[in-house]
């Protein structure tokens, strides 16, 4: 399993939100490039980046900060938040991103996602964020009627690199990941699943690793790393066992 240390960008700084609320942002580092470097130095194989302002605005907002990250590290970087057109997808991938994450547009315009997966094989992930098991979009400001599994199944044969599943009710509050729901999703689809939301300890990583055979390929962690509850190098070693 791969650990994806997270850099969430708000107004150019690395922050963590609680429950996806912009007003509940804690700033952890004002230098995203330096933060990415520290993750790479600890052995991170990937870095997960979210443009929070972009998710709400529906277009890239923290491009300068993302470019700082790309210049600072050689490890692959995946980015989500405000990527909703083919032109934006092309632009980001041409700048050196390894993978884009399509979230809101996966619900609003699944045909675009399928087209992007076909055009850029292995470089498009689908981000599915859920509140109470229902898909939330527009920076988590709106909740739909569709379930996580229903949406994920729409991309079964699209060739997406991964489904990134976030349980918003657990995000940034260190209550532990929704292992059961993540494993159930992974069993229901053939696309690899990356777990996100609530990871608070090495024990949480062990719990996810125990069900990795269901199809869980990776896990994203943010606040627990910044709080010092999870050491990146230790977590990577644990997941590599």
Residues 212-235: b if buried by 16+ CB within 10 A, e if exposed? bebbbbbbbbbbbbbeeebebeeb
Given 8, 167, 171, 204, the catalytic residue: 8
Q: At a CB cut-off of 8 Å and minimum separation 6, what does 79 contact?
A: 49, 50, 51, 66, 92, 97, 99, 100, 101
- Is residue 129 among the annotated active site residues? yes
Three-state DSSP at 199 gives coil
Phi, then psi, of 235 in degrees rounded to 5:
-65, -40
Is residue 167 part of the annotated active site? The answer reads no
Q: Output the CA torsion sign for 39, 225, 220, 218.
A: positive
- d(CA 48, CA 80) in angstroms, rounded, equals 8
- Among candidate residues 11, 31, 91, 129, the one labeled active-site is 129
Count, residues in the chain: 241
H-type alpha helices, 17-84: 32-41, 52-57, 63-72
Q: Is the dihedral of CA 212, 214, 217, 223 positive or negative?
A: negative
- CA torsion through residues 99, 89, 51, 140, sign: negative
Token readout for 205 is 């990583």
Nearest-angstrom CA–CA distance, 178 and 90: 33
Catalytic residues: 8, 129
């Amino acid at each position: 399993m791969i650990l994806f240390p997270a850099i969430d960008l708000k107004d150019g700084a690395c922050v963590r939100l609680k429950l996806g609320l912009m007003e509940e942002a804690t700033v952890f580092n004002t230098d995203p490039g330096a933060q990415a470097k520290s993750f790479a130095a600890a052995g991170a194989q990937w870095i997960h980046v979210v443009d929070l302002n972009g998710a709400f605005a529906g277009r890239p907002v923290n491009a300068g900060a993302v470019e700082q990250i790309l210049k600072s590290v050689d490890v692959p970087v995946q980015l989500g938040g405000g990527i909703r057109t083919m032109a934006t997808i092309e632009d980001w991938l041409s700048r050196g991103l390894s993978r884009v994450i399509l979230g809101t547009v996966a619900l609003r315009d699944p045909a675009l996602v399928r087209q992007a997966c076909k055009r850029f094989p292995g470089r498009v992930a689908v981000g599915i964020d859920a509140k109470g098991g229902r898909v939330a979009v527009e920076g988590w400001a709106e909740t739909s009627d569709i379930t996580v599994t229903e949406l994920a199944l729409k991309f079964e044969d699209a060739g997406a690199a991964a489904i990134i599943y976030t349980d918003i009710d657990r995000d940034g509050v260190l209550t532990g990941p929704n292992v059961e729901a993540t494993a159930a999703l992974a069993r229901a689809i053939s696309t690899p699943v990356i777990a996100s939301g609530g990871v608070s300890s090495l024990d949480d990583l062990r719990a996810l690793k125990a069900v990795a055979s269901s199809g869980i390929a990776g896990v994203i962690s943010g606040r627990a790393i910044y709080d010092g509850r999870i050491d990146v190098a230790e977590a990577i070693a644990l997941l590599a066992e």
